[in-house]
Amino acid sequence: MKIALYIEDGLEQIVLTPESDTERGIIGKLHDGSRELTIKQGSFYECQGGWVRQSKNEDSTMIVLRAKEPMA
């Protein structure tokens, strides 16, 4: 995965460019509407909120995709 930060004239953008089929599949879920998206801080270890981070260090940012609940 290539990741870039683009900043210009007040625009701030995170650019994700997948390089494998697995990465393309995950990025595709950002676009297909099948997942709820949240932004979290930390590193990878399991948290009470149902996402994973590594340590209590807050330096990393995670984009969390979770399957949407089926509509009743």
Cα distance between residue 56 and residue 58, in whole Å: 6
Which sequence spans correspond to the domains of the chain?
1-32, 37-72
Per-residue pLDDT of the chain (72 residues; tens, 9 = 90+): 999 998 998 888 899 999 999 999 999 998 998 999 988 887 655 566 666 666 666 677 777 778 888 777
Q: Is 10 helix (H, G, I), strand (E, B) or coil?
A: coil
Q: Is 48 helix (H, G, I), strand (E, B) or coil?
A: coil
What pLDDT score was predicted for residue 18?
93
Secondary-structure breakdown of the chain: helix, strand, coil percentages, each rounded to the nearest 5:
15, 45, 40
What pLDDT score was predicted for residue 53?
60
**What pTM, to 2 d.p., does this model score?**
0.65
Cα distance between residue 17 and residue 51, in whole Å: 23
What pLDDT score was predicted for residue 26?
92
